[in-house]
Amino acid sequence: MLDVGSNSAHLLVVDAYRGAPPLPASSMKKPLRLAEQITAGGALGDAGVESLVDFIREATTEAEDRGCEDVLAFATSAIREATNSDDVLALVKRRTGVELVVLAGDDEARLTFLAARRWFGWSSGRLAVFDIGGGSLEIAAGDDERPDVAQSLELGAGRLTRTWLLDDVPDPADVKALRKHVRTEMARNAGSLLRAGVGDHTVATSKTFRSLARVCGAASADEGPYVRRELRRSDLRTWLPKIAGMTSAQRAELPGVSGPRAHQLVAGAVVAEAVMDLFDIEALEICPWALREGVILEKLDSL
């Protein structure tokens, strides 16, 4: 599994077959920050293209060395929104032999929802799933394995940081303006979920939510995937102003926060708080499975 995101590219080698959970065997990750290498004209710059090609070459070699039978390669918002997306995909194919598939935003939401549904099972009832990525926020909800609501909003932590929070320690006025923007966009575009209600079980996935939950006191990754982890609204409200008053270096020292993502933690926290306020959620349970697992599960289902 080769995942090219807005912040990083990740090769995840898994032992997977139909009817069993995909078990990670090894991984290789690199913070490419492709979204930060989009030019003023909207194209992915030459340096970004070269770093992407170099990583995919390294990843395919690693996959071959690990004896992988198949490589699923996909990209999300940074490549999807680049004005030269088709040229980048063609270049990657020509120079590495890898066909990189670009996922639509609603497909990201749908596949992440599938992963969460398989993890928590039918006893969760109506499931609502939220995922803050680098470029977008994915929202999905439903009673079955295929959600009846699946949306992607341009409210990713990296995107918002680049646009609204230009200082390492953001000006409180900028944080306030970002807060208003996020809530306005979310209320305008997430009406289908607001009307239907989140349902019985509210879930968050991926790195931003995991980091925020860890900062707010959730168990560390060392305790394994089966420990229940939550992000509580009351804890997030306490921590958000503290995080906003720190430098990126100070945030990187917080539990669960990686150096390459520390600069966008404030924006991620603003989005997370807006999700919980607008949908009146007191706690989000953290799901260890997300988009990558959803892609794998759908592939296995098709075999």
Mean pLDDT, residues 112-130: 97
Strand locations in 23-174 (E): 23-30, 73-75, 101-102, 127-132, 137-142, 149-153
Q: Are residues 164 and 91 in the same domain?
A: no
pLDDT digits (tens, 9 = 90+) for 199-220: 899 999 999 999 999 999 999 9
CA angle at 134 for the pair 131 and 135, rounded to the nearest 5°:
90
Q: Are residues 53 and 132 in the same domain?
A: no
Residue 135 has pLDDT above 90, yes or no: yes
The confidence score (pLDDT) of residue 22 equals: 86
pTM: 0.94
CATH number at residue 97: 3.30.420.40
Q: Which residue in the block uniquely carries the two structure tokens 């992915």? A: 44
Mean pLDDT, residues 148-172: 96
pLDDT digits (tens, 9 = 90+) for 61-85: 999 998 888 889 999 999 999 999 9
Residue 271 has pLDDT above 90, yes or no: yes
The amino acid at residue 187 is A
Q: Do residues 10 and 292 make contact, with C-beta atoms less than 8 angstroms apart?
A: yes
Q: 92 in a domain, yes or no?
A: yes
Banded pLDDT at 163 (limits 50, 70, 90)? very high
Mean pLDDT, residues 257-268: 96
Mark which of 102, 123, 154 sits at the end of a domain. Answer: 102
Q: Are residues 128 and 265 in the same domain?
A: yes
Taking every pair of Cα atoms in the chain, the longest distance, rounded to a whole number of angstroms, is 53
- Count CA within 13 A, CB hemisphere, residue 194: 12
Q: Are residues 152 and 276 in the same domain?
A: yes
Q: 73 in a domain, yes or no?
A: yes
Residue 257 has pLDDT above 90, yes or no: yes
Q: 108 in a domain, yes or no?
A: no
Surface-to-core class of residue 28, CB atoms within 10 Å of its CB (0-12 exposed, 13-18 middle, 19+ buried): middle
Mark which of 102, 123, 156 sits at the end of a domain. Answer: 102
Mark which of 49, 72, 102 sits at the end of a domain. Answer: 102
Q: Are residues 58 and 163 in the same domain?
A: no
Q: Are residues 281 and 163 in the same domain?
A: yes
* C-alpha–C-alpha distance, residues 67 and 74, integer Å: 20
Residue (of 58, 1, 5) closest to 32 by Cα position: 5
Mean pLDDT, residues 239-247: 98
Q: Are residues 199 and 265 in the same domain?
A: yes
* C-alpha–C-alpha distance, residues 77 and 34, integer Å: 10
Range(s) of the domain holding residue 62: 2-102
Buried/exposed 146-157: b ≥16 CB within 10 Å, e otherwise: ebebbbbbebbb
Q: Are residues 26 and 88 in the same domain?
A: yes
Banded pLDDT at 4 (limits 50, 70, 90)? very high
Compute φ and ψ for 218, nearest 5 degrees: -70, 160
Domain total for the chain? 2
Surface-to-core class of residue 232, CB atoms within 10 Å of its CB (0-12 exposed, 13-18 middle, 19+ buried): middle
- In DSSP terms, which residues pair with 202 in a beta bridge? 128
Banded pLDDT at 16 (limits 50, 70, 90)? confident
Compute φ and ψ for 249, nearest 5 degrees: -65, -40
* C-alpha–C-alpha distance, residues 143 and 252, integer Å: 38
Q: 301 in a domain, yes or no?
A: no
Q: Are residues 135 and 250 in the same domain?
A: yes
Q: 297 in a domain, yes or no?
A: no
Q: Are residues 150 and 266 in the same domain?
A: yes
Q: 300 in a domain, yes or no?
A: no
SS3 category, 261: helix
Q: Are residues 200 and 69 in the same domain?
A: no
CATH number at residue 200: 3.30.420.150
Mean pLDDT, residues 153-181: 97
Q: 302 in a domain, yes or no?
A: no
